[in-house]
Amino acid sequence: MLQYVAENKAWIFSGLGIFLLTCAFAFVRWLIKRRSTAKAPATPINLKVVIESPPPPDSTALVPTPVSPATVIRRLEEAPLLLREDVLRHFIGLPLEFTGDLTSATKTSTGSIRLLIMKREAVSCEVDSSQYPGLGLLKSGHIIHVRGEISAVMSSIVAVQNAVIRFDLPT
């Protein structure tokens, strides 16, 4: 056998020889695999796959914690000048809660009332006057609690949309 390999080494190790050896090896392997699967008992295969989705998240987990105007303004002031608009975009739509003193109240052309509420920071919002009948009795300095979504920040004033306010009527 070694003499045959020595005499035919150029042919055996040429491309055609390697191809034929590879084909022979693959054929033998295929035969062995076929015999092993033929001996195995046929078991029914259930192709039905059930994918269970995770339970829905807790609805309270989806609501972010309200931020304060001080946090928004501080983060904007800390941001590099050219990145402030990008930082602001992350705050738009977040809930905001704030308690401060009523500084001004003006009627708009649509009949809503624009409020400016200040402490160290300022919050501006518009509310429907029909939803708050006692609002016209409030004076400057009256304490108002605001909850809403951040819509814009202009200088040091945080604008809030979908605002809900809470206040005590003067006695």
Q: What is the pLDDT of residues 19-69, one digit of tens each?
A: 777 878 888 888 888 777 666 555 665 555 555 556 666 655 566 788 999
pLDDT score at 3: 82
Residue 86: closest CA among 74, 101, 102, 75: 75
Nearby residues of 15 by Cβ (< 8 Å), 6 or more positions away: none
Rg (CA), the chain: 38
* H-assigned helices in the chain: 2-7, 9-12, 15-39, 69-78, 84-91
Nearby residues of 21 by Cβ (< 8 Å), 6 or more positions away: 12
Domain residue ranges in the chain: 61-167
Inter-residue contact 89 to 170 (CB < 8 Å):
no
Based on the number of CB atoms within 10 Å of its own CB, is 51 exposed (0-12), middle (13-18) or buried (19 or more)? exposed
Q: Give the CATH fold of the 61-167 domain.
A: OB fold (Dihydrolipoamide Acetyltransferase, E2P) (2.40.50)
| pTM over cut 0.85 | no
pLDDT tens per residue, range 81-109: 999 899 899 999 999 999 999 999 999 99
pLDDT score at 22: 82
pLDDT tens per residue, range 107-166: 999 989 999 999 989 999 999 988 988 888 889 999 999 999 999 998 889 999 999 999
Return the structure tokens found at 158: 């945080």
